[in-house]
Amino acid sequence: MRHHHALKIPRWQKRWLYTGFALLLLSGLPWLLLHYGRDADALPTTGEAWLMRLHGLASMFCLLGLGMLTSSHLLPGWRLSGRMGWAQQRSTGLWVSVSLALCVLLAYGLSYMFPESLHAGAGWAHAGTAVMALSSWWRHRRLARRHVAANVAAARVQMPTRK
């Protein structure tokens, strides 16, 4: 079994995604604290508005990065995981994809579709799916590292010795 370098995500693409997701985290968590930390009858602060603007900008940044990742990693990885029998890797990748899609759909609903009465529940569901995406990504990455380590070890065993 060999490691397929076609699935290795280029460094610039990782930086793009990590930067975008860090901005989402650094704008989303403080917003939650500001929004739900104030009295129910208090008016929103200007900080909340600016955090939402930054969150929206970061989401566009991430959506572009996820589009690039879909063509370069997700689709080839799906095909390869089926051939190589990496069922766990495939399932964690699916969880990452589904949870990110739910997060995007909830964000769209919060911004454009849901009535105000649904905002609190949908906001917490959005935050929950973000946590689910993060934990799924962490598991997916750990499994990928195990596959790489196993493939490197197998390649060392199969290497012919020089005489």
Of 24, 115, 114, 8, which Cα lies nearest the Cα of 62?
Answer: 24
Q: What is the pLDDT of residues 10-38, one digit of tens each?
A: 999 999 999 999 999 999 999 999 998 88
Predicted local distance difference test score (pLDDT) of residue 1: 43
pTM score, two decimals? 0.80
Domain positions in the chain = 7-85, 87-163
Check: CB of residue 5 under 8 Å from CB of residue 144: no
